[in-house]
Structures are given as structure tokens and as C-alpha cells.
Amino acid sequence: MAVIIGLTGGIGSGKTTLVNYMESLGIPVFIADEEAKKAMQSPQVLDNVKANFGNAIFENGHLNRQQLASIVFSNPDKLKELNSIIHPEVKRQFAIWLDQHKTVPFVVYEAAILFESGSYQNCDYIITVTAPLEDRITRVMQRDNCSREQVLQRINVQWTDEERALKSNYVIDNTSTQSAKHEIDKILKILKN
């Protein structure tokens, strides 16, 4: 069975850069956020979202993601509620995906909310990616075309780097992409032995 490496970090920490690097090394990567987006297209999940959040977040039968985001990122209880709808489906998809990759030495489970969702319990090792707060804010504002306040709102509902680090096997400072990739190489070498 493949060793499951959990890769996490706050929004804008640079997880995607490291995921892309690990994929370039031939390591299969499961990206929980992408699976969550797919889950949000499932009629069953959408019915649950409608039952819990009401018709107001739907326009012409389609989910208004921005409206849902503004609700959940301003109310931790609503975020937990949404996660309780989506995460069982993501977990189910991961089990199917993992079965398809059981012969490789390593797989990566990438999730911004690895700890908050409880998914860390399925991982053999956990790597947390950190970056300076201002770098993270700038990256997300540019990537998502959103305001500083919106980014801080998302950051504030996630665990802190310190909280993640306490439960992680490895912590990578992603101030420099090159040194972060070098850290990945060192960790993989340790895990291979």
C-alpha cells in the first residue's frame, strides 16, 4: 500500500507549487479542494446544501458560489455545516483514488483544511507549508482577484501555521521556491529509507 503524505498549509502558502513539483517527480497527488468542487456539482450534495442554506444562494437553479463563500467564511458554524456535507463525498472519492494508486510508493493528499476536516487521520506523514502572511495575502489577492479583507476572512477560519506545525511531521518554509523544493527532496529521501 502506498504511503500517504498529507500536504497542507494556509491559503496562499504555496502548496500548489510544491504539489506540481511532486507530480513532476512522478508522485500521484489527490487535491481535496478540486474534489470538493466536483462534489458541489453532485445533485445529492446540492440538495443537502439547499436544505441547509436555503434557496437564496441559488440563482436560476445554479449555486452562487460567491454568496455561499461569503456566508461560510464569515460564520465558522456555517463553514462546519458545509464541510460536513462535502467531506464525506471527498473521503469516498479519495478511497476510490487510493485504490487505483496502491502500487506506487507514495501518494500525496493535498488539502488546505487537512486538520479541520479530520483527513489528517488517513495520512502516514504530514507536511505543512508556511509562508509569511503578507506574501500569502498578496498571492491570493492576485490569484483570486479578491480584496485583502476577503483573504484575511479565509485565513481567519483556517488553523494557524503554529497549530498545523504541532501536528505535522515536517514544516517547509516556502519563502523561496527553490529551497522549498530542496526540502521536499530531503523529506522524500528520508521517507524512502
**Residue 16 known to bind ligand:** yes
Q: What percent of the chain has pLDDT over 90?
A: 77
Contacts of 175 (CB under 8 A, 6+ apart): 131, 132, 135
Query: Is 13 part of any known ligand binding site?
Result: yes
Residues paired with residue 29 on neighbouring β-strands, in sequence order: 108
The answer, as to whether pTM is greater than 0.85, is: yes
* Average pLDDT score, the chain: 93
* Angle of CA points 20, 22, 23, to nearest 5°: 65
Known binder of ligand: residue 103?
A: no
The answer, yes or no, to whether residue 147 has pLDDT greater than 90, is yes
Number of domains in the chain: 1
For residue range 158-183, what is the model confidence (pLDDT) as tens digits? 899 999 999 999 999 999 999 999 99
On whether 9 is known to bind a ligand per the annotation, the reply is no
CA angle in degrees (0–180, nearest 5) for 178-113-19? 30
Range of the domain at 55: 3-192
| Distances from the Cα of 63 to the Cα of 31, 43, 145, angstroms | 22, 11, 20
Known binder of ligand: residue 128? no
Q: Among 76-85, 99-108, 127-136, which stretch is predicted with the lowest mean pLDDT?
A: 76-85
The three cell numbers of residue 147 are 480584496
What ranges in the chain are assigned the alpha helix state H? 15-24, 32-39, 43-53, 65-72, 76-100, 133-144, 148-157, 161-166, 177-192
192 marked ligand binding residue: no
CA-wise closest residue to 57 among 45, 42, 69: 69
Residue 75 has pLDDT above 90, yes or no: no
pLDDT band with cut points at 50, 70 and 90 for residue 74: confident
Mean of pLDDT values over 18-47:
94
Task: Give kind and range of the element (H or E) at residue 137.
Answer: helix 133-144
Q: Give pLDDT tens digits for 120-129.
A: 999 999 999 9
The x, y and z cell numbers of residue 62, run together, are: 445554479
**The CATH number of the domain where 28 resides is what?**
3.40.50.300
